Chains A and B, each alone.
Chain A
């Protein structure tokens, strides 16, 4: 017993000692780092005068400099059973910024910050380490400067593999200048992967000087590209053949608009791919660059090649291998069986129809599949997101003898196709080249043949198909299976394809203080998914699909009939009942959020059509409720705030109205209302004509048509955003119909006592 205690005590001393040694080492390194960085001889960090134009800014970045250094050395290290060369990289990034904080908001932004002081991850061969050093100085208006000391740092995670830290910056007040740096040192072993690095040349605060300097050991290689008007890299080599890179830009005004922008296409930045060059054995397959190479990326051929290589490997492992293909064959068999169950001869279907059957079968078998062991997860399967499942859908169709391909394209708000630097800049979508129809699954609510909104209208696409030789004997053959051909242009959906249509039948409540509303909502295209997630029950969806795919029994009946499964029935019923109980709240919440009025007594809520099949693609739901807030008594008469039926339409704030940059929206779209207001007995409707408005131009329309009979006032409202993209010069035209819609909010109707 005594020995044990002794051993434990010794161990604890060693651990404590080791910890303090580590802390001491960190403290010393940190001190050294600070000494070096504060001694930088960079004139931009000494600027005192802020240009008059920025005197009201919340903060002004006086100078922002990044220093990236990476060296490489080979060293002999022991691993496994023998000695081998272990490549260790050390990459240090120092970001120093000197910023004038002018108000409480800026002080609050900079008053606290968190960082990972130390992190260690174990790789296959060795551990990689990341260490962060921080230095902060507060410079007062009188020029006096104080540096924070280590006592102000607290650890919020203190484990041997990771230490996270926080600092509250002392004595920081409006009017002060904050000079700080964050230096991160990374030690990587045997890491030949490409490190993506970006130099951003924009900010929401003005920047007087922004610079970047990199010094990389001669074994590194860089590929880079400047985007959206960013300056070019200045590249040099020093006497040691190290790569020297510089970027500088001064007087960068703040970029503030956040409405409808696509940063990858509109804001200036430089991307670099930095890697440890390697030209030895197998370098082709490792996709490494030659040491010392610095290339300006001029086209996207290489990125496309990488994408093709990735797909070759996927194709080889995921389809060419017989065992992998078998699962797709199973989907086909299952689809045939299900088609037969509903009297459809799969073999006689057109390719498009077959694709749809395969799509539904895959969705049913894999994404909707009922799993008792993951009951909550199954019920919430509507919340799951998928990446489009291009390869899976491609293979499913290919296995069934269709002739599919994979479209490789840009994302319409992401990097342009000809500016791609990385395979990840491009997206892949399965399609049928014959009919140019797309298949994509981002959620269980997707239907066949609807292209995802993020590729709508893209051109300059590529189409991947794959060789399928009987034998593959070499790596070269395996990595070259992909055939690249020009792909089709993707059509853009029109505003009448992405629709929210509200049919509202209104009548006054008995006490004439509110409106009784019978509502039917139809959502089309890209407008559907969010509400489908909120309103459709898994149980309803799954049962409907069971029927559509010819399953005779309902899920519960099937469970009841199973020897093993019948014991689950009660649980499943309970879980479904619980979900159904919450559905009414979801309907009420959706109505409140859309109309932004008092919604009470919601009843008769119903999903009329789920919109999960291409043959019945619209999502239709209905309910009835009382809506308060729109009925005003005016003496003997009644005023209806009829304009407020459209909820709170999008309005453009004052500071967003002046715009030069182009407008990137998600998709062309429309919102339409058909309102029928019952005129109560003993009243007449006045002011109907004044409700008619039309503002239409090439960017969109806001139009209303109001008519009345003795009994009913009918109002049709439509607002269309005609395109997903508008040039900045068209923004005023957009404002015209957006403003018209906002003005119509104040429209009123008088019900006059006869």
Chain B
């Protein structure tokens, strides 16, 4: 089983998110001692090389008696052979571990299973111990081992016992901060790699953060080959072998070209250029194939037959990429399957391993130039690239060879969302016309949200979204363009009567034009947050308003302009007063989706400035 990419509904617009963190300050229970030993052993004909793992964790109660949840995961390629539980050194505790299928959000079905139970810690100072014995049936699935646990670990030792008939390489990640010691010794025929460390903090559960491989101390084991008996078994010596294995799985798929060709021709009838055809096919797959993930045994690696995906109208990323590839190929276009690790994985193919990638897409080689197509991004346009794969290295099919390419980075302009208003003042209301346009991932986010709503409720829901649920922001004459053409920008136009936004005190008129206030008060809680903050995607948010001034009024006060420019982001906001109009323009640019802990303080200062700007009003006074 492999944890492929989980496609979930985008969880929130940048303004709606809160940059909070879940504090992991509960140190009542610690793992006072953890030893994990991995030993390569000779297996059987089906699984000639196996890895036996024995993990021993002693949990100690530091503050007051409680229970902890213990969970150990396994799947078709890993077995749990034995579990021993000791509560205060005694095996008489009545705890019976439960074994269940483990359901993961967004995955329809997988072979993931979990063994779990609640472990009591009887009083302060007492300890309970859990020993798991597991077998990993194939070295390919023995990839990374993390040094962090759900609790802080006081003393940790990880041992790898490697016989001379196994060749491997161990890569170490994020050791610096944690004073992890390494020792290599020889014991007879075996090399023993020992890593020891003290006071390793628990996993951080912060939202909108990078994946574990970006920051958590761990080792990545790259098993190159093994010769337990006479026969030499080659694993992923280099990316060549990894590609070879993937290729061998692809060759076993059994795609039916005829069925695919018929469908493709039906879809592309009447289209002249290759690009038109690719666009049409890509959107057809986006529209017609539902993303449903199966991660069951070898099905976690081998794509489903494209005719089956076509018949069922659903598939996982591999199934969709394989279908798309075959559809393009069926009309003689150069399409390839691509393996790729999304942004949450820190590795690239310089470390050949099953943990490098978690996703599959298709690439159309347009006169040698790659055009990446990821149909699991249901509402992204042709040529637009989702943040999660931008800049990532991808392994592209190339017959018996392979290509390693980098998916290009997009600029924030790909995702520009613009709102333009032309308004007049009428009494205490602002009236006028609004045009909003969304591109790229902003468009995808909104379309995903809208399509989750029943069609007869969509207009109301859209109005509700545009008015931010405020009853004084009355929308009429709403038109929506390109709701189902993802290659064009999503555009809405409407008239508004924005009531009670103009405040008149005596003869002075006060106005607050910007109710969007992008990123207002979007501060990061530096006391709690330890990990970088990741926005969903690069962004460019433009908000413009033009207000016709009443003939009898003049501008008495306008907020000072704001310009913030930092590496990675910029904010600008400006009011101008020309020709009897006030023109306001606000632009937020996120060039980089990451705010690192080192820049939190600057970010917060800049957000404070932006918030201060928003908290100002325009003052109009009667003309003298």
- Which A residues contact B (CB, under 8 angstroms)? 56-58, 102-108, 111-112, 152, 154, 156-157, 166, 168, 170-173, 372, 375-376, 513, 568, 570-572, 574-575, 578, 598, 628-629, 631-637, 639, 651, 653-655, 686-687, 739, 742-743, 745-746, 748, 750, 752
Please tell me if the beta carbons of B506 and A571 are within 8 angstroms of each other in the complex.
no
Tell me the complex Cα distance, A636–B521, Å.
23
Given A168-B292, A171-B312, A578-B63, A750 contacting B510 (CB threshold 8 A) = yes
Contact of B501 among A57, A571, A746 (CB under 8 A): A746
Tell me the complex Cα distance, A368–B313, Å.
57
Please tell me if the beta carbons of A570 and B313 are within 8 angstroms of each other in the complex.
no
Contact indicator per residue, chain B 291-321, by CB within 8 Å of chain A (1) or not (0) = 0101010000000000000011110000000
Please tell me if the beta carbons of B460 and A574 are within 8 angstroms of each other in the complex.
no
9 residue pairs bridging A and B, Cβ less than 8 Å apart: A56-B455, A152-B312, A571-B124, A575-B64, A631-B615, A633-B615, A634-B617, A636-B557, A748-B510
Please tell me if the beta carbons of A112 and B505 are within 8 angstroms of each other in the complex.
no
Top-9 shortest CB links A-B: A635-B557, A170-B312, A58-B454, A746-B500, A575-B64, A634-B617, A103-B455, A574-B63, A571-B64
Contact of B510 among A636, A639, A651 (CB under 8 A): A639
Tell me the complex Cα distance, A598–B523, Å.
10
Please tell me if the beta carbons of A578 and B611 are within 8 angstroms of each other in the complex.
no
For B100, the chain A residues whose CB sits under 8 A away are 157
CB distance from A517 to the nearest CB of B (A): 16
Contact of B471 among A106, A168, A742 (CB under 8 A): A742
Indicate if B556 sits at the interface (CB-CB under 8 A).
yes
For B294, the chain A residues whose CB sits under 8 A away are 154
For B559, the chain A residues whose CB sits under 8 A away are 633
For A166, the chain B residues whose CB sits under 8 A away are 108-109
CB distance from A54 to the nearest CB of B (A): 9
For B520, the chain A residues whose CB sits under 8 A away are 629
Please tell me if the beta carbons of B456 and A578 are within 8 angstroms of each other in the complex.
no
Indicate if B567 sits at the interface (CB-CB under 8 A).
no
For B109, the chain A residues whose CB sits under 8 A away are 154, 156, 166
Given A154-B109, A375-B66, A748-B503, A57 contacting B456 (CB threshold 8 A) = yes
Please tell me if the beta carbons of A639 and B617 are within 8 angstroms of each other in the complex.
yes
Tell me the complex Cα distance, A156–B102, Å.
9
For B501, the chain A residues whose CB sits under 8 A away are 746
Tell me the complex Cα distance, A639–B464, Å.
27
Interface residues of B in 59-89 (CB under 8 A from A): 63-67
Please tell me if the beta carbons of B617 and A633 are within 8 angstroms of each other in the complex.
yes
Contact of B506 among A513, A686, A743 (CB under 8 A): A686
Interface residues of B in 572-624 (CB under 8 A from A): 611-612, 615-619
For A172, the chain B residues whose CB sits under 8 A away are 313
Please tell me if the beta carbons of A572 and B453 are within 8 angstroms of each other in the complex.
no
Tell me the complex Cα distance, A57–B455, Å.
7
For B505, the chain A residues whose CB sits under 8 A away are 686-687, 750, 752
Tell me the complex Cα distance, A57–B451, Å.
14
CB distance from B111 to the nearest CB of A (A): 10
Given A168-B314, A633-B617, A687-B505, A108 contacting B471 (CB threshold 8 A) = no
Contact of A168 among B108, B124, B464 (CB under 8 A): B108
For B101, the chain A residues whose CB sits under 8 A away are 156-157
CB distance from B124 to the nearest CB of A (A): 5
Contact of B500 among A108, A170, A636, A743 (CB under 8 A): A743
Tell me the complex Cα distance, A168–B312, Å.
9
CB distance from B450 to the nearest CB of A (A): 9
Please tell me if the beta carbons of B455 and A105 are within 8 angstroms of each other in the complex.
yes
Tell me the complex Cα distance, A740–B67, Å.
51
Indicate if B368 sits at the interface (CB-CB under 8 A).
no
Please tell me if the beta carbons of B456 and A56 are within 8 angstroms of each other in the complex.
yes
For A654, the chain B residues whose CB sits under 8 A away are 460, 463
Given A156-B101, A157-B101, A651 contacting B312 (CB threshold 8 A) = no
> Closest A-chain residue to B102, C-beta based?
A156
> Closest A-chain residue to B456, C-beta based?
A56
CB distance from A647 to the nearest CB of B (A): 13
Please tell me if the beta carbons of B457 and A102 are within 8 angstroms of each other in the complex.
no
Tell me the complex Cα distance, A112–B107, Å.
12
Indicate if B15 sits at the interface (CB-CB under 8 A).
no
Contact of B124 among A157, A570, A632 (CB under 8 A): A570
For A743, the chain B residues whose CB sits under 8 A away are 471-472, 500
> Closest A-chain residue to B517, C-beta based?
A629
CB distance from B502 to the nearest CB of A (A): 10
Tell me the complex Cα distance, A750–B506, Å.
10
For A157, the chain B residues whose CB sits under 8 A away are 100-101
Please tell me if the beta carbons of A173 and B313 are within 8 angstroms of each other in the complex.
yes
CB distance from B185 to the nearest CB of A (A): 37
Tell me the complex Cα distance, A106–B454, Å.
7
> Closest B-chain residue to A750, C-beta based?
B505
Indicate if B270 sits at the interface (CB-CB under 8 A).
no
Indicate if B343 sits at the interface (CB-CB under 8 A).
no
For A634, the chain B residues whose CB sits under 8 A away are 510, 557, 616-619
Tell me the complex Cα distance, A219–B101, Å.
42
Indicate if B105 sits at the interface (CB-CB under 8 A).
no
Please tell me if the beta carbons of A104 and B471 are within 8 angstroms of each other in the complex.
no
> Closest A-chain residue to B506, C-beta based?
A686
Indicate if B46 sits at the interface (CB-CB under 8 A).
no
Given A633-B617, A746-B499, A750-B510, A105 contacting B313 (CB threshold 8 A) = no
Known contacts A108-B290, A152-B312, A571-B63; 20 additional CB pairs below 8 A are: A56-B455, A104-B451, A105-B451, A106-B454, A111-B290, A168-B108, A168-B312, A376-B67, A571-B64, A628-B611, A633-B559, A633-B617, A634-B618, A634-B619, A639-B503, A687-B503, A742-B471, A743-B472, A746-B472, A748-B503
CB distance from A585 to the nearest CB of B (A): 9
Indicate if B565 sits at the interface (CB-CB under 8 A).
no
Interface residues of B in 1-47 (CB under 8 A from A): 26, 28
For A746, the chain B residues whose CB sits under 8 A away are 472, 499-501
Indicate if B388 sits at the interface (CB-CB under 8 A).
no
Tell me the complex Cα distance, A154–B294, Å.
10
From B103, B313, B500, residue with most partner A Cβ within 10 Å: B313
> Closest B-chain residue to A637, C-beta based?
B619
CB distance from B125 to the nearest CB of A (A): 9
Please tell me if the beta carbons of A112 and B617 are within 8 angstroms of each other in the complex.
no
Given A156-B103, A653-B464, A108 contacting B503 (CB threshold 8 A) = no
Tell me the complex Cα distance, A540–B210, Å.
41
Indicate if B248 sits at the interface (CB-CB under 8 A).
no
> Closest A-chain residue to B63, C-beta based?
A574
Tell me the complex Cα distance, A221–B287, Å.
52
For A636, the chain B residues whose CB sits under 8 A away are 557
Please tell me if the beta carbons of B66 and A112 are within 8 angstroms of each other in the complex.
no
Please tell me if the beta carbons of A375 and B314 are within 8 angstroms of each other in the complex.
no
Indicate if B288 sits at the interface (CB-CB under 8 A).
yes
CB distance from A142 to the nearest CB of B (A): 14
Please tell me if the beta carbons of A107 and B290 are within 8 angstroms of each other in the complex.
yes
For B313, the chain A residues whose CB sits under 8 A away are 170-173
For B94, the chain A residues whose CB sits under 8 A away are none
For B296, the chain A residues whose CB sits under 8 A away are 154
Interface residues of B in 446-475 (CB under 8 A from A): 451-457, 460, 463-464, 469, 471-472
Indicate if B512 sits at the interface (CB-CB under 8 A).
yes
Tell me the complex Cα distance, A301–B298, Å.
63
> Closest A-chain residue to B452, C-beta based?
A105
Contact of A58 among B123, B288, B456, B521 (CB under 8 A): B456
For B456, the chain A residues whose CB sits under 8 A away are 56-58
Please tell me if the beta carbons of A112 and B292 are within 8 angstroms of each other in the complex.
yes
Please tell me if the beta carbons of B314 and A571 are within 8 angstroms of each other in the complex.
no
CB distance from A417 to the nearest CB of B (A): 37
Please tell me if the beta carbons of A739 and B471 are within 8 angstroms of each other in the complex.
yes
Given A632-B615, A746-B499, A748-B503, A105 contacting B454 (CB threshold 8 A) = yes
Please tell me if the beta carbons of B616 and A632 are within 8 angstroms of each other in the complex.
yes
Please tell me if the beta carbons of B311 and A171 are within 8 angstroms of each other in the complex.
yes
Tell me the complex Cα distance, A570–B63, Å.
8
From A111, A570, A571, residue with most partner B Cβ within 10 Å: A571
For A156, the chain B residues whose CB sits under 8 A away are 101, 103, 109
